[in-house]
Amino acid sequence: MLDFDTAQSRLAQAGKRPEAAETCPLYRAAGRVLAQPVVATLDLPPADNSAMDGYAIRYADYQPGRKFPVQQRCFAGVRPQALQEGQTIRLFTGSLMPEGADTVVMQEDCAEVDNLLDIRLKPKNGTHVRRQGEDVHKGDVLLAEGTRLEAAHVAVLASQGLVDLPVYPQLKVGILTTGDELAFPGQPRKTEQIFNSNGPMLAALVDRLGAQVVHVLHALDTPASLKKALATLLKDCDLILTVGGVSVGEKDLVKPAIEQAGGTLDLWRVCMKPGKPVALAHARHKPIVCLPGNPVSAFSVFALLVSPLIRAMQGRRDIMPPVQFGCLKTAKEFKETREEFLRVRAIPTAQDLPELIPYDKQGSGIISSLPWASGFARIRVNTAVGNGDVVPYYDYRHWLA
Ligand SMILES: Nc1nc2c(c(=O)[nH]1)N[C@H]1C(S)=C(S)[C@@H](COP(=O)(O)OP(=O)(O)OC[C@H]3O[C@@H](n4cnc5c(N)ncnc54)[C@H](O)[C@@H]3O)O[C@H]1N2
Ligand code: MOO
């Protein structure tokens, strides 16, 4: 059995990074991955402007008690006149600074009567002016290639006036569930069947990572059914995720079906709990990850082993999310012969580290543990861990994004 960290880095490198780029409109850019760095072509702000509703003056003109005639009322979006000596121009937040003015007096610190401004509080030289380029300089690298675009990045791109962006094509993922005991939600369920929760769950996980779910297929436990499904997935997808049928049972036919389709098995079985029977194969240069059928195992393997592979194949820069730490709060002691990933809920505390509370049922079929938890606590192999011990914590927010 392969150790967890080796398996994680081998899976992360099991796919090709994208080469081609395509164009995506700004309004559809959230969730996409930049294929080129973005360099500023515009200073931000593009020109000095007022940070307050107030009055522009030349600081050198100020004397206590002096009244300033209001030369112009200059709203944001209006071009200001050049300020004449001893005068003031009425400005609003975002109005451009008039030529010759260097200071803005907030309207709360002065009073305008009959077109004359009386400044009641001595201003500070240069105050309340937002300087050209103080945010961004023309030529700055704003976003790196491989950045996954979120709303914050869209704000930066829009502020440069960009409408079309170079992005990598969306990764196409195919999902294959297996097993005669499964009925899809919406289909009639026989007494001997359970609903197929892994198919929809994996589709949601893939979608959340910003990849495209091309197929969610189901194969019966027969070589012919598996062969047909694999052929479709290999034709249409860049990455294939199968689930179930990879353990040691007589109907665990997925690995032989991949080999029959011309694939080669790269690894099988990782020293982790849940998730041991996970396999990695390649067919037609495309990675196929075979996830264990138990729903908690499939979910955990996806987060910890598959998500870095997907990020890499999407062309993202940061493929391995941060691992944090937390303090276990438990009445039990944990010790396993495999690296264990407990489903835990992290509770912030006044101290540095959050408390990690394990769900009371930790079996691989306990679906209710998944939405209850906020992440996984890692229990090192053959190491007894109990209340108050500090352990690595893998937060869903990072590992499923
Ligand atoms: N003799 C042994 N038995 C098992 C071993 C072992 O080492 N020796 N390993 C156990 C471990 S650990 C796991 S994990 C499972 C993995 O088995 P498979 O990947 O072959 O998965 P299946 O047997 O097909 O299914 C396991 C379990 O999950 C349910 N399942 C499967 N697919 C779905 C789905 N799409 N939605 C909901 N539930 C699903 C299935 O009904 C089974 O209950 O093997 C252990 N056994
Ligand atoms: O690996 Mo299994 O995933 O322990 O249940």
pLDDT digits over 40-85, tens only?
999 999 999 999 999 999 999 999 999 999 999 999 999 999 999 9
22-44+134-167 has CATH 3.90.1420.10 classification: no
Query: Does ligand 2 have an atom closer than 6 angstroms to the CB of 275?
Result: yes
Distance CA(247)–CA(294), nearest Å, equals 11
Gap from CA of 366 to ligand 2 centroid (Å): 11
Contact 320, 400 (CB under 8 A): no
Whether pLDDT at 251 is above 90: no
Distance CA(125)–CA(330), nearest Å, equals 60
pLDDT value for 68: 98
pLDDT value for 249: 76
pLDDT value for 42: 98
Q: List pLDDT tens digits, range 145-161.
A: 999 999 999 999 999 99
pLDDT value for 192: 97
Gap from CA of 244 to ligand 1 centroid (Å): 6
Instruction: State the alpha helices, DSSP H only, in 47-184.
Output: 151-159
Q: ipTM of this complex > 0.95?
A: yes
> Which residue has a Cα nearest atom 9 of ligand 1?
247
Q: Supply the mean pLDDT for the chain.
A: 97
Query: Does ligand 2 have an atom closer than 6 angstroms to the CB of 369?
Result: no
Gap from CA of 379 to ligand 1 centroid (Å): 22
Query: Does ligand 2 have an atom closer than 6 angstroms to the CB of 297?
Result: yes
Gap from CA of 385 to ligand 1 centroid (Å): 27
**Packing angle of the helix pair 307-314, 4-12 (nearest 10 deg):** 20
Q: Which CATH superfamily is domain 4-18+169-314 in?
A: MoaB/Mog-like domain (3.40.980.10)
**pLDDT band for position 250 (cuts 50, 70, 90):** confident
Gap from CA of 292 to ligand 1 centroid (Å): 6
**pLDDT band for position 317 (cuts 50, 70, 90):** very high
- Which atom of ligand 1 is nearest to 177's Cα? 35
The best mutation among 268, 276, 290, 337 to test binding of ligand 2, ranked by most ligand atoms within 8 Å of the C-beta, falls on 276
Average pLDDT over residues 264-286: 96
Gap from CA of 189 to ligand 2 centroid (Å): 25
**pLDDT band for position 363 (cuts 50, 70, 90):** very high
pLDDT value for 245: 87
pLDDT value for 358: 98
Query: Does ligand 2 have an atom closer than 6 angstroms to the CB of 294?
Result: yes
- Which atom of ligand 2 is nearest to 272's Cα? 1
> CB under 8 Å to 65, separation ≥6 — which residues?
none
Whether pLDDT at 378 is above 80: yes
Query: Does ligand 2 have an atom closer than 6 angstroms to the CB of 316?
Result: no
Whether pLDDT at 19 is above 90: yes
- Which atom of ligand 2 is nearest to 364's Cα? 5
262: its two tokens: 């011309």
Query: Does ligand 2 have an atom closer than 6 angstroms to the CB of 123?
Result: no
> CB under 8 Å to 93, separation ≥6 — which residues?
50, 51, 52, 53, 76
**pLDDT band for position 329 (cuts 50, 70, 90):** very high
CA atoms within 13 A on the CB side of 236: 17
Gap from CA of 394 to ligand 2 centroid (Å): 18
Cα dihedral: 58, 62, 68, 72 (round 10): 20
Query: Does ligand 1 have an atom closer than 6 angstroms to the CB of 271?
Result: no
Q: Which CATH superfamily is domain 49-130 in?
A: Molybdopterin biosynthesis moea protein, domain 3. (2.170.190.11)
Q: For the chain, where do the domains classified as CATH 3.40.980.10 start and end?
A: 4-18+169-314
Gap from CA of 373 to ligand 1 centroid (Å): 22
Q: How much of the chain, in percent, has pLDDT values that exceed 70?
A: 100
Ligand number nearest CA of 337 is 2
Instruction: State the alpha helices, DSSP H only, in 163-260.
Output: 198-208, 223-236, 254-260
**Residue labelled with tokens 């500023």:** 40
Q: Which CATH superfamily is domain 324-399 in?
A: MoeA, C-terminal, domain IV (2.40.340.10)
Q: For the chain, where do the domains classified as CATH 3.90.105.10 start and end?
A: 22-44+134-167
Q: For the chain, where do the domains classified as CATH 2.170.190.11 start and end?
A: 49-130
Gap from CA of 272 to ligand 2 centroid (Å): 8
Ligand number nearest CA of 305 is 2
Q: What is the pTM of this model?
A: 0.94
Q: List pLDDT tens digits, range 162-198.
A: 999 999 999 999 999 999 999 999 999 999 999 999 9
Distance CA(214)–CA(70), nearest Å, equals 65
